[in-house]
A and B are shown apart, each in its own frame.
Chain A
Amino acid sequence: MRANSILIVDDDELLCDMIASLLELEGHLVTLAHDGATALALCREGMFDCILLDLVMPRMDGLQFMRVVAHAMPDHPPIVVMSASVTATIVEEGRDYGACSMIRKPVDRAGLLDAIGQATRSRTG
């Protein structure tokens, strides 16, 4: 598997740490952000192959983050949304703002890696 640079955006630090460990174990380069505003700043500075995004976050929630990113960075990395609040409305809104896939929590390891793989492939392809 090709090593990708992945930005994980989630206010749940424990979960972030777990996912980061998993992805690092798979050889990816992982950066963490615990709210939308920090994530936005990181996106402006560095190049990521994929963004793993939670929706419910303080200060700037996931949908707002996607809206801003879509507006400010038309060529933004693919976004994989993971949330416990995946409803039809959110799926629709997420798609509008460029989310390439949605994972309902709790995510399983294989599903997560598969979603990231698909996202990074779509970007390189």
Chain B
Amino acid sequence: MDRNGHRARSARFSRQFERFGGIAPAFRDAVAIFAITLIALALSQTRAFANLDGLAFDTAAQFDSARPPRVIVVEVDPAAANPAPLLAAAKRAGVVSVGVLDPRLAQETCHASDPILPLFIRGSRDAPPASQRFACRLSPAIDAPADDGMYRRQFAAVEGPDGPRTLFETKLAGRGDASGAYVIRMPASQNIPRVTAVQLTAGIFAPDQLNGYVALFAPPSDASAALATTLDPQGFRTSEAVWRAYAVQTLIDRREVRSAPAILTLFVIVLAALAGRALFGTAIARRHFIAACIAAAAVAAILWFVLLQATDTFAPLTASIFALLVAGITKLRSEERRKDRALERTIEKAINLAFGRSVLLDASDLPTYFQRAAALLQLPYARMAVRASGTSAWEEVFATGEADGAARTIRLDDAEKDIRLTYSPPRDATGAAATRILDDAIARVLAGREWQSRLLAGRRRASIDRRLRSAANLISVHSDELARGLDALDTAVCVFRPLGMPIYANVEMRALLTAARIDPDNTALLDIMVATTELGEARARSMIREVLLQGGDLRIPMRDFGGRQRILRLGIATQVRHRSQTVLVVEAVDITELDRLSELRLAFGTFIDRQLRNDLEAITLGSGLARDPRLEPAARARILDRIGDVVARARGRLDEVRGLLEEKPYAGKDTSFPIESRKIVAQALDRAQPFADESGARIASALPDISGFSIAEPLMLSDMVEAMLRIVIADTAQGGEVVLQLEETDRATSIRIAGGFGLPFDRFVAALDAGSGEVPSEYQIAAAGMAEAMKWRGGVTYWSAPGAGFRFAIQLRRV
């Protein structure tokens, strides 16, 4: 890939990064949370986390509190049992209902017992048929499948052909209202009494000692059957009777645990994801990642436990922790990427501002760069040849002059090409300086290219090692300082590498170059000089060369931009210790103020000359007449009176001029003095005319051929009139007319500007009062001019209405 291709790729990367970086962080977070929630919810709903959640439940069960026992397991040998006294003993002890697990025992019980207690027989294939004699209630029993071998879940009812059918434990607990699946609470500390039939019939319980209890008759063999339950997750030591007893106890206590409904699951997962993004958005969490993960998971577990205990709801703990951590990790990653991007921007900025964006630009087009350098330094011979790496054919890119014995060759190879620059230094006294400048330029180009290639390396993070980061930050800071320093200058300044593109142009210079239709970033010094001054290319090149090789500085008058007069000053600045840091400084010095001072002097001079000339003439004529013997005494007296009037008038004019000069020292636009209003208004008209032409509006101007003197500050007046014209022109339809009139009366000068469609008056006033950036600058200039006009003891009136247009009237005092 050639350098241009490299640059194109760089620009493309940059655009992609800008595009990605341009997405609002809140939107990125929302997208991430949505995706994470979706994944966690899907995993949760497909029971992928069921085992982990079960383990969590088992652990939590260890801390569960016990309740008073409401179930007693009675071990009954089906072969030897006599159900009648057993049931009688149970009833005497206070048992309220009996559940029978073993089919054989159930058969015996059903046939032998009076219905002195409600009996519930666990349904099975071996269960006895319903008896006409006894009220044996056969209850279906179905066990929920084990979660990974663990029995902790049971159904309260199942759907039968004729509706929901309550299961054995549910009936025994008297919870006909219960339905669906539930998790059985099995606290280790829960007491489930177990006795044998013999003990029961022997009367170990006092009457009503088991008041309200439910008895579960189970054969001893059943009591020894083993299930893996929460009580003993590692073994299989819980009998079926005990497991069902816990189920009945849970139901009686109304503490059966239900899985969280889907909407709650969604809410919990979203909350966890939000918490994860928020937590890992903090610096502390990023610094202590592992601890933060553990703490976050612990907090989630505690909240889950609180929810479990308070509402008997089995929330998706694992899915929540999953969402929390994944959201946190993705946040962490995105923060790292953001920091990487920030670092990349810092490095790019560092390169752009300090190391030399100009260098990258120059490196991207070496032939143009060195051809221009050869011309500027007037090298007697320069040649560049290129060949693709791995090939033998050299291609000449450019060649100037004739080779001589002093020629030297420099290698400028890059990854794709071998490049050779051969040149001879000038034979005159400037040869050494030219060689040094060229060598420095080559060194910078090579170094800049190295930076660029490292920056654009595929493994971006890996390529940005700590030293590079430090260097980049340092350079960036210095660059910012340089930029701030240059921006703070009250003059337009641009800094160049001796042979390359601009390193930095401050705000004022950028505005000036933009006004001159020059790209401040991609224009060589030579082109800037040609565009902004009257110099030809050869002369400009010669002047740059002179400054480069001889030092010192040069001043050239600039073209007129924005009505300001400037001098372009070109100088060289070299740090003694770092010759490679030689830069050319271009300054556009605004001399308009100097010109204004000169104008002030001229205006006062002209005023005194012209106005007092009248008075002198009158005095001269009057004194001649007064001496004329033909004059009647009365006429002579009148003439003498007139002379007195003229002298008084002349004194008044002189006093006024002195007042203007002594009132305050010259302070730019704050100073007013006698001006020829026609000249000022005509200047404003000339400046506004191109805008009117662009807008298709016609300015109907009525100016006198000659005007007298009025009091104003010419630049402010001119700016104000131009701004008012622009306001009206901008509001004038194509082909419409804008009126500009200048009239002078004995005591006042009036400038009237009218036209356009107009704004409601209140909006117009608001526009004139608006701050910077809120309205076009013309409104601000006009408003500033109005305020200044008061200081000239003049005034401005304005009016606007939709359909009637704008009206401005500037009144100036005549002298």
Contacts and interface: CB of A to CB of B under 8 A. Distances in A.
Interface of A: 11-12, 14-15, 17-19, 21-22, 25, 55-56, 58-64, 84-85, 90, 93, 105-109
A55 B678 CA distance: 14
Contacts of B611: 84
A84 B624 contact: no
Contacts of A15: 614, 617-618, 621, 646
B524 interface: no
A114 B524 CA distance: 67
Contact of A108 (B620, B628, B746): B620
A116 B704 CA distance: 27
A60 B744 CA distance: 9
B704 A25 contact: no
B635 interface: yes
B571 to A, nearest CB: 42
A113 to B, nearest CB: 11
Contact of A107 (B617, B630, B743): B617
Nearest to A54: B614
A12 B610 CA distance: 13
Contacts of A17: 642
A12, A15, A17, A18: residue with the most chain B Cβ atoms closer than 10 Å:
A18
A45 B745 CA distance: 24
B417 to A, nearest CB: 66
Contacts of B708: 56, 58
Given A14-B642, A58-B745, A108-B620, 17 more contacts: A15-B614, A15-B618, A15-B621, A18-B617, A18-B622, A18-B625, A21-B638, A22-B625, A58-B708, A58-B743, A58-B744, A59-B744, A84-B611, A90-B706, A106-B613, A107-B621, A109-B624
A105 B645 CA distance: 19
A21 B625 contact: yes
Nearest to B743: A59
A63 B678 CA distance: 14
Nearest to A66: B705
A98 B708 CA distance: 23
Interface string B628-643: 1011000100110010
B631 A18 contact: no
Nearest to A106: B617
Contact of B745 (A59, A85, A93): A59
A76 to B, nearest CB: 18
Nearest to B630: A25
B706 A22 contact: no
A14 B610 contact: no
B642 A18 contact: yes
Contact of B618 (A11, A12, A93): A12
Contacts of B743: 58-59
A18 B618 contact: yes
A24 B708 CA distance: 29
B622 A61 contact: no
B707 A56 contact: yes
B404 interface: no
Contacts of A60: 704
Contacts of B631: 21, 25
B621 A22 contact: yes
Closest 10 CB pairs of A and B: A106-B617, A63-B705, A84-B610, A84-B613, A18-B621, A15-B618, A58-B744, A105-B613, A61-B704, A106-B616
16 contacts: A15-B617, A15-B618, A21-B625, A21-B639, A22-B624, A22-B625, A56-B707, A58-B745, A59-B743, A61-B706, A93-B705, A105-B614, A105-B617, A107-B621, A109-B620, A109-B624
Given A14-B645, A15-B614, A21-B639, A64 B620 contact: no
Contacts of A55: 706
B649 interface: yes
A84 to B, nearest CB: 4
Secondary structure of the B contact surface, majority rule: helix
B609 interface: yes
A93 to B, nearest CB: 7
Interface of B: 609-611, 613-614, 616-618, 620-622, 624-625, 628, 630-631, 635, 638-639, 642, 645-646, 649, 704-708, 743-746
B646 A14 contact: yes
Contacts of A11: 746
A72 B375 CA distance: 67
Contacts of A108: 620
B709 to A, nearest CB: 9
Contacts of B616: 106
B609 A84 contact: yes
B218 to A, nearest CB: 127
B621, B638, B707: residue with the most chain A Cβ atoms closer than 10 Å:
B621
A21 B706 CA distance: 28
B625 A84 contact: no
A21 B635 contact: yes
Contacts of B614: 12, 15, 84, 105-106
A37 to B, nearest CB: 12
A26 to B, nearest CB: 9
A109 B625 CA distance: 9
A108 B704 CA distance: 28
A12 B191 CA distance: 126
B704 A64 contact: yes
B611, B618, B620, B745: residue with the most chain A Cβ atoms closer than 10 Å:
B618
Contacts of A59: 743-745
A107 B621 CA distance: 8
B665 to A, nearest CB: 29
Nearest to B635: A21
B412 to A, nearest CB: 63
Contact of A109 (B609, B621, B705): B621
Contacts of B609: 84
Contacts of B618: 12, 14-15, 18
Contact of B620 (A12, A14, A61, A106): A106
Contact of B649 (A14, A19, A58): A14
A3 to B, nearest CB: 15
Contacts of B621: 15, 18-19, 22, 106-107, 109
A11 B743 CA distance: 15
Contacts of A85: 610, 706
B706 A25 contact: no
A59 B744 CA distance: 6
B620 to A, nearest CB: 6
Contacts of B624: 22, 109
Nearest to B747: A58
B88 to A, nearest CB: 136
B289 to A, nearest CB: 85
B436 to A, nearest CB: 57
A56 B336 CA distance: 77
A63 B613 contact: no
